[in-house]
Amino acid sequence: MILSRQILTILLLLSTLGCKKAYDPNPELITIDLERGDFILCSAGRFGDVDFLTSCSENTRETFNLAISLLHSFEYVEAEKAFVKVIDADPSCSMAYWGVAMSIYHSLWMQSDKSYLQKGVKLLEIANKFQLSEKEKDYLDAICVFYMDWETVKPETRKNLYEKKMETLYHKYRNDAETAIFYALALRAAANPNDKTYAKQKKSGKILEDLFEKYPNHPGIAHYIIHNYDYPELAYKALNTARRYAQIAPASAHAQHMPSHIFTRLGLWEESIKSNINSTESARCYSESINPSGHWDEELHGMDYLVYAYLQIGDNSKAKEQYDYLKTFDLVFPANFKVAYSSAAIPTRIAIENKNWLEASTLQLPKSNIDWGSFPWQTAILHFGKILGLVHIGSISDAENELEILKGLHQELADQNDNYKANQVLIQINSAEAWIKFAKGNRKEALVYMLKASELESNTSKHAVTPCEVLPADELLGDLYLQLNEPTQALKAYEFSLKNHPNRFNSIYGAATAAKLLGHENKSKHYFESLVKLTKNAGCDRPELNEAKKNLNLI
């Protein structure tokens, strides 16, 4: 039930009625596509506590702070609506135009549709025409560097320019919490995904941790701490924050989901499942309010994390329920990179995590309104899974044909200078080459390719959109070593995989198998016991679990 929309509408009407000054609409906005309408917030409406001071009309302050809260939880559409409501009430409120520009920025992932950049330029041009305080001018100048020259300057460069601008403001306004929080987010957004020292993430995290003590109910602080530490090496630093964020902003579907990033990094599957059940339920409420026949991207994002967690506890029944549900989707909105990733990853994960190679060999892109031609990285996931399936059922020539498609997708990303995603597909290409070579009897070449894939993946950070690679390269390396009858190397590969992906079902089983082959009875027993413990609440019927129980004399 959408309680908050009614509450907020009443509050906003009362504040408008109490305002003596009338404003005329800004005619310059006519040509700009802005989000308008009632707020759609599926809970009691709590998004955390913020206090962002501006020189805008006093009667817009409550709405402006709501907009900032929504922005900090990446509720971008509703944030834009709130900022636009401020603009409609006070057309000279320059910071509301800034707010819309921030709401369409989506700093942690770049949108494929470039129209938002043109929109941002127009908004900031209008905002700069009004009388500005010094701080407001600084804020506008900062975000302007991201939108300026967008047609000729790479997104990464513009992100870095924005970060530098916010760093200047951070030092200039040392006592302003919001400036520090937005600077911390800019740092995280500009972090190099290939920097395994996580220098910017740690710097950002330290700023936020210090602020969290003073502002324990601020949604942005909690949210961005999680994003900064969403890595195997750092996740432990955000566990307490992860367990708090959903309570700070219970009205946000994204806030319900975000803790599962940390739970996933730490292999806390039951907590991840609970987090994403709450998130997807909230997202469905939002979808039904916008378009009852459609599905919001936040729902699909949560579903991918939910499926991944179910698979790690061996609950195929629940995982397949999510996939069957996904197959009913005809309309998704917005049809963006998150939706494309989840739609490709969910069926691929279910097939290849279960080593159901026949099912993997027949994977097809889900039918919905997604323009798959705009998402080569996501499309590559399905083709990669298909290659593994084809190799294992002996259809080598078909696998080689799929490999050519994979290489074409890699080239497409390389031509777009999308280096991170191109590298992700390159990892898949090397893994695919390895298993094709192995199937053709070229054992040495197979190992060379698989080691290369493992090295590439070890030097690359995980993208925030995914709970995990559809199959970690280190785990695939362990599988190959077992096929090569090298259990010592297999055990090392599986244990390295578990270091980066704690409590992964297949890595635990692989480690148990390798240890058993080596005669390491205690270690084998430890891993088999871990598998039994991992699956105890899932009703798991996977053959690996039965083998574990037999080895432990439980059946």
Task: Please tell me the distance from the alpha carbon of residue 354 to that of residue 360, in angstroms, as a whole number.
Answer: 10
Mean pLDDT, residues 361-379: 95
pLDDT value at position 539? 87
> Can you give the pLDDT at residue 416?
92
406: three-class secondary structure by DSSP: helix
What is the SS3 assignment for 137? helix
pLDDT tops 90 at residue 371 = yes
pLDDT at position 21, please?
A: 41
- Residue 43: its pLDDT value, please? 59
Neighbours of 119 (CB within 10 A): 18
More confident residue, 401 or 113: 401
pLDDT exceeds 90 at position 303? yes
pLDDT for position 251: 86
pLDDT score, position 44 = 58
CA distance 41 to 75: 10
Average pLDDT score over residue span 238-243 = 97
Asked if 302 and 257 count as a contact pair (C-beta separation under 8 A), the reply is yes
Cα(187)–Cα(167) distance, integer angstroms = 9
Read off the pTM. 0.90
Residue type at position 112: S
In DSSP terms, which residues pair with 296 in a beta bridge? Answer: 333
> What value does the mean pLDDT take over residues 220-229?
97
What average pLDDT does the segment 247-262 reach? Answer: 93
Tell me what the pLDDT averaged over the chain comes to.
92
With a cut of 60, say whether residue 361 has pLDDT above it. yes
Q: How far apart are the first and last CA of the chain?
A: 48
- Within 10 angstroms of residue 210's Cβ, the number of other Cβ atoms is 11
- Element (DSSP H or E) covering residue 175: none
Q: Please state the rounded mean pLDDT for residues 488-512.
A: 98
pLDDT for the residue 535: 97
Domains of the chain from N-terminus onward: 3-257 (1.25.40), 475-555 (1.25.40.10)
Query: What's the pLDDT tens digit per position in 277-292?
Result: 999 999 998 898 888 9
Write out pLDDT tens, residues 177-219. 999 999 999 999 999 988 989 999 999 999 999 999 999 999 9
Residue 37: per-residue pLDDT:
83
Please write the tens of the pLDDT for every residue from 414-436.
Answer: 999 899 999 999 999 999 999 99
User: If pLDDT is split at 50, 70 and 90, which confidence band does 18 have?
Assistant: very low
What is the average per-residue pLDDT within 493-519?
98
In this prediction, residue 24 carries a pLDDT of 58
| Measured distance CA(243)–CA(231) in Å, rounded | 17
Q: Give the other-Cβ count within 10 Å of 330's Cβ.
A: 10
**pLDDT (tens digit per residue) in 452-491:** 999 999 988 888 899 999 999 999 999 999 999 999 999 9
For residue 241 the two structure tokens come to: 């924050």
SS (H, E, C) 238-305: HHHHHHHHHHHCCCCHHHHHCHHHHHHHCCCHHHHHHHHHHHHHHHHHHHHHHCCCEEEHHHHHHHHH
Q: Averaged over 152-157, what is the pLDDT?
A: 93
Question: pLDDT exceeding 90 applies to what percent of the chain?
Answer: 85
Please report the beta strands in 328-416, taking only residues with DSSP state E, as ranges in sequence order. 331-333
Among 31-35, 218-222, 256-260, 272-276, where is mean pLDDT lowest?
31-35
Q: Quote the pLDDT of residue 460.
A: 86
The band of 20, judged by pLDDT with boundaries at 50, 70 and 90, is: very low
